[in-house]
Amino acid sequence: MVAPYSPPFAITPAIVTLIADIAERVGQHAQAADSAAALRLRRINRIRTIQGSLAIEGNTLSEQQITAILEGKRVIAPPREVQEVRNALLAYDRFATWNPALEDDLLAAHALLMAGLVERPGAYRSGGVGVMSGSVVVHMAPPASRVRGLMEGLFDWLHGCEVHPLIASCVFHYEFEFIHPFDDGNGRMGRLWQSLILSRWKPLFADLPVESIVHAHQDDYYRALADSTRVGASTPFIAFMLGVIREALGADPPEQVTVQATEQVRRLLASMGDGCYSAKSLMMLLRLSHRPTFLYDYLQPALAAGWLEQTHPDTPTSPRQQYRLTRSGKQVAQDLT
């Protein structure tokens, strides 16, 4: 008897910290979920979600153009890009009807999302496929003959797994991208299905613009995928996506600190004074050259714990973004001396 597939990953202290912070922020969002302002925001966020996810795949349409398409207005743009938006709008209209643990629903979603864009929408690929970065192949997906079995194993795992939905959704997203089951549309489908998994945990994730944050950190997104493939576990990707989800929920740190600083975070806090520091300058202080390591093991956990804050919290990806110790961060740093 073949043992059921169990995707490899580890739950690090940084991941635990991010999950705790996300859970708190979800509660804060839920309190205002039924207000009129929140209902208007859902529509805006849906448009941002679609724009962000398609932009990652090269679609150039703006939020204003997507809004015009939603309202039935004529938009002058490449026909394929308009079709991508129309498909995405239809797919998100059907969002609530799909079960994230059903393979048939994933195939139906792909058929709707990629209608008129690929030869066989809603069908797994029949040939080889690689993930390109420019002219370089950065990932060669498993052969087509293995796709159905790998996807069945992944859905069996998702159906029976007992890990937190935040982790399960990230693991599924990474494994899906590794398998790359379709000829095209794998990126937008992976992101869509992660949001679907999360929405069955907390409905607010149906309209949270996670994809727009991924788009803002697109290079880091692909780097996290590559790092996970390199180490043979989805741990780096889990940490990255949890950081994205936390950012989508809001950048204000919690008032109370209830987590234990890791060795990496202690090094970061101890190296900082009273000033403001760019990410590059912090990496230099720590003598780090690998940006994902700095993001996942140092910066994101410190932000999640409320020990660091951004100087431009309203524009997280600003090139002028810097970081400084919060009051609680200064206390932790003082305790280390």
Query: Is 189 marked as binding a ligand?
Result: yes
- Cross-strand pairs, 139: 131
Backbone angles phi, psi at 318, to 5 degrees: -60, 135
Q: Residue type at 137?
A: V
Query: Is 190 marked as binding a ligand?
Result: yes
CA dihedral 324, 286, 226, 59 (to 10 degrees): 30
Q: Are 66 and 95 in contact (CB under 8 A)?
A: no
Q: Are 242 and 15 in contact (CB under 8 A)?
A: yes
Note the maximum CA span of the chain.
64
User: What separation in angstroms does the CA of 16 have from each of 116, 122, 193, 247, 264?
Assistant: 42, 36, 22, 16, 15
Query: Is 252 marked as binding a ligand?
Result: no
Query: Contacts by 40-45 with C-beta closer than 8 Å and gap 24+?
Result: 41/207, 42/207, 45/207, 45/208, 45/209
- The rounded distance, in Å, linking the Cα atoms of 292 and 297 is 8
Query: Is 231 marked as binding a ligand?
Result: no
Query: Is 116 marked as binding a ligand?
Result: no
Radius of gyration of the chain, Cα coordinates, nearest whole angstrom = 20
Q: Are 184 and 117 in contact (CB under 8 A)?
A: yes
Backbone angles phi, psi at 130, to 5 degrees: -130, 155
Query: Is 87 marked as binding a ligand?
Result: no
The one catalytic residue among 110, 180, 215, 217: 180
Place of tokens 């549309």: 185
- The rounded distance, in Å, linking the Cα atoms of 184 and 125 is 9
180 flagged as catalytic: yes
Query: Is 222 marked as binding a ligand?
Result: yes
Query: Is 191 marked as binding a ligand?
Result: yes
Alpha carbon of residue 6 to chain centroid? 21
Query: Is 266 marked as binding a ligand?
Result: no
Query: Is 221 marked as binding a ligand?
Result: yes
- Cross-strand pairs, 323: 277, 310
Query: Is 298 marked as binding a ligand?
Result: no
Q: Residue type at 211?
A: E
For 254, which DSSP code? P
**Residues annotated as binding site?**
136-139, 184-191, 221-222
Annotated binding residues for ATP, written as ranges, equal 136-139, 184-191, 221-222
Could you give the residue numbers annotated as active site?
180
